[in-house]
Amino acid sequence: MCRAQRVRDRGAVPEPGGDRPDCDSEVLEFVFARPPGTTNTSGLPRRTTLQKTLLNHLDQGGHWHMGRGWTPLP
């Protein structure tokens, strides 16, 4: 899996203008089944490692970003 990620990243295509939009609400929606557009993290559980990591990152002022890339085919 790591090898596949390295290969994919060689051909990574940055977002137009070099910006990667924040997708904090999308991550909260996926991990906690929150309504789309929700960014309030108060009261969310920290039971799993994923939940703890995600919320700790947001609490420290971090953001989650969307990314994309491509792999050239032979």
**Mean pLDDT, the chain cut into blocks of 10 residues (74 residues total):** 52 54 90 91 95 95 81 78
Please answer whether residues 22 and 65 qualify as being in contact, where contact means their C-beta atoms are separated by less than 8 angstroms: yes
Q: pTM of this prediction? A: 0.64
Structure tokens belonging to residue 72: 């050239």
Cα dihedral: 48, 52, 58, 61 (round 10): -170
Amino acid 15 reads E
pLDDT at 72: 79
Phi, psi of 5 (to 5 degrees): -65, -45
